[in-house]
Amino acid sequence: MLGPVILAASRSEQMRRLISAAPVTKQVVDRFIPGETVDEIVPIVQDLTAKGLELTMDVVGEDITTPEQAAAARDAYLLLVDRLKELELGTRAEMSIKLSMFGQALPSPTTTLLEEPSGPAPTPHGGHELALANVRPVVEAAAAIGTTVTLDAEDHTTLDSMFAIHEELRKDFPETGCVIQAYLFRTESDARRLAGAGSRVRLVKGAYKEPTEVAYQQKHEIDKAYVRILRILMEGSGYPMIGSHDPRLISIAQELARRAGRKLDEYEFQMLYGIRSDEHLRLAAEGHRMRVYTAYGTDWYGYFMRRLAEKPANLRFFARSMLTR
């Protein structure tokens, strides 16, 4: 029951101010977001890759409010690419991007210019072109150092725009990946469309608060949908990326991969930094490709709150750490 309440709080500006200013011990946030700057994250990248793990890097931030912030997000990723270039890791370190941080929800410059002050409100996703313009240089820079970008999936209202940007980027950079969410009714059909040759698709359960009209709400329904969609991806000819910490789904994924005749390098597992870290190492030691989603930066609120919502025990740990200060 706590999960939906925390997810609602994750979108509240008042709560953001309250929690961000609270005496949260750095230790609590650090468990999930192990650095604030690119200099702090580089040693983590080196440590994880030395252990045989691969990474997808996320500069935290979302729901920005100005084009300048969107440009700053793009520049933060370009700086990251520069540092990854020095490490020469190729696809062992790729990047994950939330398009809302690249301006997706802002009114586009064209929309704003065409509208009279008294005219209709800007379309909610008029920033589609702005997000595409900001993400393209990052995808280009990633390709130039031999790596790739995956577009994260945010709330359901943003997905048509995300998939359209994904399709556009794939014309020049076919290896660009995207995320699909098992809790959404639409996802089986998205998975069929995306399961073709050359595609890279990460399947996750879904981390946002979604209405009953568009998404399954019960864990067992979401898990069943996850398996149905995973089967579509495994039987397709793309590259499935299994984004889950759920031990049952990981075993099922291994079995589906075996039945589909996939070799170990024809799919991969992905988990979040700080969650089931022993399992990261166990799967890598078994010869699986294991990619750790590693987030860093200062705008950690939304990302941190979704991690709290996924496991109420995290909230107790968080609350205790505040009380014992």
Question: Counting beta carbons within 10 angstroms of the beta carbon of residue 75, is it exposed (0 to 12), middle (13 to 18) or buried (19 or more)?
Answer: middle
Helix boundaries (H) for 195-275:
219-235, 247-259
Per rule CB under 6 A, is residue 273 in the interface with ligand FDA?
no
Per rule CB under 6 A, is residue 280 in the interface with ligand FDA?
no
Three-state secondary-structure class, residue 308: helix
Angle (CA) 238 288 178, round 5°: 35
Angle (CA) 287 226 313, round 5°: 85
Per rule CB under 6 A, is residue 80 in the interface with ligand FDA?
no
Q: Where are the beta strands (DSSP E) in 221-289?
A: 239-243, 268-272
Interface of this chain with ligand FDA, residues 114 to 153, rule: CB under 6 A: 152-153
Angle (CA) 56 62 67, round 5°: 115
What character string, x for contact with ligand FDA (CB under 6 A) and - otherwise, covers 234-263?
Answer: ---------xxxx-----------------
**Beta carbon of residue 139, minimum distance to ligand FDA (angstroms, whole number):** 17
**Beta carbon of residue 57, minimum distance to ligand FDA (angstroms, whole number):** 11
Interface of this chain with ligand FDA, residues 185 to 224, rule: CB under 6 A: 204-208
**Beta carbon of residue 267, minimum distance to ligand FDA (angstroms, whole number):** 14
**Beta carbon of residue 102, minimum distance to ligand FDA (angstroms, whole number):** 14
Q: 297 — alpha (psi -120 to 50), left (phi > 0) or beta?
A: left
* Residue among 108 and 183 whose Cβ is closer to ligand FDA: 183
Three-state secondary-structure class, residue 247: helix
**Beta carbon of residue 313, minimum distance to ligand FDA (angstroms, whole number):** 7
Per rule CB under 6 A, is residue 71 in the interface with ligand FDA?
no
Per rule CB under 6 A, is residue 314 in the interface with ligand FDA?
yes
Q: Where are the beta strands (DSSP E) in 23-124?
A: 54-59, 93-97
Residues that bind ligand FDA (CB under 6 A): 152-153, 179, 181, 204-208, 243-246, 270-272, 275-276, 293, 307, 310-311, 314
